Amino acid sequence: MEDQNMKEAETMEEEARYHIIHVDDEHDNEEKRKILDEFTEEVTVLFADFKAWLKENHDPDKVAAYKEKVKLETALLIQKVKVAVAEVNENDKVKSGKETVKAASKHIGNKISSGVQDVIQHENVQKVMNDVSTKVHQVKEDERVKETVKKVKRGTLHIASSAYDSLKKVLEEHEEEPEVIEVKTDIYPDDKNKPEE
């Protein structure tokens, strides 16, 4: 009976290892391999304890109860592996998505930049840009424009000077005639409202 229990324990351990190893068939990720190795080690420890316990205990009821406990712990470990691997896969998808967006943004930026360069280097665009630059330079150097700018400056200065002089006169007038404020010291004009001392 003891040999039968040991064989059953070994079979259970092999099945648990198989389930853990095959939770995810892609073992290309270092993090996944590490997770699978950790849980495989936990299975090894669990079944080593179970086998050691089986050598000491032979009561069929206790063996059956302990076996059920080991099955539940094994199922729990397998579930934990699935969750851990799923989290790694999800993180990989998020990282991959971010990298895809980053690459696409860079690609789009490069295309826009090269498109702008193509437009700028186009013969007609170059001609228009040169014509505009020439016209701006001609306008800046035109004597009529220079004279008009000088007149506008003189007119603006004259208006500002007149406004300043007017404001100065208004302020000087108020300074010459200070306003007299009469202060009454007697707050009771007639003695009948005055409180008694």
Q: What is the pLDDT of residues 94-144, one digit of tens each?
A: 666 667 777 777 777 777 777 777 767 777 777 777 787 788 778 778 888
**pTM summary value:** 0.47
CB distance 163 to 157 below 8 Å = no
With a pLDDT cut of 70, the percent of the chain lying above it is 78
Q: How big is the chain, counted in residues?
A: 197
